[in-house]
Amino acid sequence: MSLYLFNTLTKKKEKFVPISKSKVGLYTCGPTVYNSAHIGNLRAYVFEDVLKRTLFFNGFKVKHVLNITDVGHLTSDADEGEDKMTKGLRRDGLPLTLAGMKKLAQKYTNLFVKDIKRLNVILPDEMPKASENIAEDIDLIEKLDKNGFIYQIEDGVYFDTSKLPDYGQLVNGKIDIDEGHQRIKKGGKKNNKDFALWKFNNKLGWDSKYGKGFPGWHIECSAMATKYLGEKFDIHCGGKEHIAVHHTNEIAQSEAAWGKKPWVKYWLHHEWLELGGKKMAKSGENFITLSLLEEKSFSPLDFRYLCLGTHYRKPLMFNYGALEGASQARKKLEEKMKEFKSESKIIDLKSNLSNPKKINNPLIKKYQVKFSTEVNDDLNTPQALATLWEVIKDKQLNEGSKYYLLLQFDRIFGLNLGLLKKVQKQLKVPLKVKQLAEERLIARQNKDWKTADKIRQEVTDFGYVVEDTNEGYKFKKLDEVS
């Protein structure tokens, strides 16, 4: 069954055909670690995790690279304002030094990794830091210099977009920069579309042949992606806000340097999470972290379930009522899964999960095909969730079959359904046995061990075992005791 993904580069849904037959190179834009991630940021990583799980589901091997931006991301896409890490240093009261920046970055990198782990996101194969790849940035700038694509002005080194005829492929060349957000300085850049490759800074930065400073945000991603995935790779992901500037500039400088077109075969972009009709942003007041949701007694997996209920290319409208609904649905799903696990007897789950073709039940096969078709249709998780609930309600399927199917589906959903414990059936104990246990408890409290042992044997004669606990006692069936 083929996988189809919406490619921003071609503006259409396409059959996914990797460059290499079975291996996929995947690069996803990571966090700028000057502050905690909010749930709008985290939606991106849930979407990308579903993508990676779907690639695994289809039998591909994936090399996933997610960058950590710890320098070079300016507060304005106009190549103006201070570096976001510098902003974080001021906020946290740390010194304006590279050592201070490293300390700040490590703090928020640790928090980010903790967040995505709690969301059950499969960790990337590589998480390179921008600050540890400065040499690669400089090498790439020198390559662009050799190819005639750069010029130098007072505040830095810039990419000359006029030298690239197909600049702006992701937006069909329509780079719309409003008057209040001009990327041009008086007496500086040749063109308002030109962008910084290296920003000069004599106090905080690294030495290069062009002068002391730090890399531009865009050059960092091109350098790290190419270092780990090669001069041409399969998939690059990010938010829709990256299309017109960040990803457009990544394409320009990468293709100008290496001449590989397309540099990336498939570009995937997710929509924003919105609160009160506005995009959630670190600079705004609508800033909600995963920890805040936990303080309100929600599980991180409740938020993951909420994300699954909206297609990644549609805005996710966040409110606590919707999150509560997702939480209740997930808890109901967990209870159903526990029940099914307790009753599962007919399927060898271990062998069949790795080889579903062994299953001969036509109804199971129908649901397998239905689910696979949905997730392979540009990651249609809302419809795939609907199929999951259809399975749960299907009276023609026994509990073992339902348990098997839900385990398969959770390879995409990532809700940890396979880790749930079975429902413990309540043991029906005859009244006489309960009375004997009470008498034995009194005997033990009076340290009448002879009577207590005699009563224990009487309980055993009824086919039960009484075990002592801190709270008193509990029963087991004699045939369940090894």
Token pair of 349 as six digits: 């789950």
Rounded CA separation 423/251 (Å)? 53
CB 229 within 8 A of CB 199: no
Residue 313: per-residue pLDDT: 98
In a domain, 284, yes or no: no
Rounded CA separation 90/96 (Å)? 8
In a domain, 373, yes or no: yes
Taking only the tens place, the pLDDT of each residue in 67-79 is 999 987 765 565 6
Q: Based on the domain organization, do 174 and 86 belong to the same domain?
A: yes
Q: State the total domains in the chain.
A: 3
Residue 442 — pLDDT band, cuts 50, 70, 90?
Answer: confident
**Residue that finishes a domain, picked among 378, 397, 419:** 419
Whether the predicted pLDDT of 461 surpasses 80: yes
In a domain, 290, yes or no: no
Q: Based on the domain organization, do 440 and 391 belong to the same domain?
A: no
Residue 3: per-residue pLDDT: 98
Average the pLDDT over each of 7-21, 135-149, 282-296, 361-375 and give the range with the smallest value.
282-296
Taking only the tens place, the pLDDT of each residue in 228-278 is 999 999 999 999 999 999 999 999 999 999 988 899 999 999 999 998 888
**Residue that finishes a domain, picked among 237, 270, 303:** 270
Rounded CA separation 252/263 (Å)? 9
Residue 181: per-residue pLDDT: 44
Query: Tell me, what CATH number does 28's domain have?
Result: 3.40.50.620
Residue 101: per-residue pLDDT: 87
Whether the predicted pLDDT of 182 surpasses 60: no
Taking only the tens place, the pLDDT of each residue in 126-142 is 999 999 999 999 999 99
Q: Based on the domain organization, do 25 and 106 belong to the same domain?
A: yes
Residue 98: per-residue pLDDT: 86
Q: Based on the domain organization, do 327 and 476 belong to the same domain?
A: no
Average the pLDDT over each of 79-88, 327-336, 381-390, 419-428 and give the range with the smallest value.
419-428
Residue 180: per-residue pLDDT: 40
Give per-residue burial for 314-335: e unless 16+ CB within 10 Å, then b: eebebeeeebeebbebbeebee
| Contacts of 137 by beta carbon, 8 Å cutoff, 6+ apart | 198, 215, 219, 220, 223
Residue 172: per-residue pLDDT: 78
Which residue type is seen at 33? V
Whether the predicted pLDDT of 357 surpasses 60: no
Whether the predicted pLDDT of 463 surpasses 60: yes
In a domain, 236, yes or no: yes
Which residue type is seen at 39? I
CB 268 within 8 A of CB 311: no
Phi and psi based region of residue 414 (left: phi greater than 0; alpha: psi -120 to 50; beta: remaining): left
Between 467 and 117, name the one with better pLDDT: 117
Q: Based on the domain organization, do 324 and 356 belong to the same domain?
A: yes
Task: Show the beta-strand stretches assigned E in 395-471.
Answer: 464-469
Dihedral Cα 443, 447, 451, 457, nearest 10 deg: 90
Average pLDDT of the segment spanning 323-342? 93
In a domain, 471, yes or no: yes
Q: Based on the domain organization, do 56 and 160 belong to the same domain?
A: yes
Q: Based on the domain organization, do 223 and 77 belong to the same domain?
A: yes
Q: Based on the domain organization, do 122 and 26 belong to the same domain?
A: yes
Residue 45: per-residue pLDDT: 98
Q: Which of 94-103, 146-155, 344-353, 445-454 shows the highest mean pLDDT?
A: 146-155
Average pLDDT of the segment spanning 400-419? 94
Q: Based on the domain organization, do 174 and 205 belong to the same domain?
A: yes
Residue 449 — pLDDT band, cuts 50, 70, 90?
Answer: confident
Residue 346: per-residue pLDDT: 45
The parent domain of residue 408 ranges over 295-419
Residue 2 — pLDDT band, cuts 50, 70, 90?
Answer: very high
Task: Give strand pairing partners of 238.
Answer: 269
Rounded CA separation 314/68 (Å)? 26
From 219, 80, 226, select the one nearest 138 (Cα to Cα).
219
In a domain, 424, yes or no: no
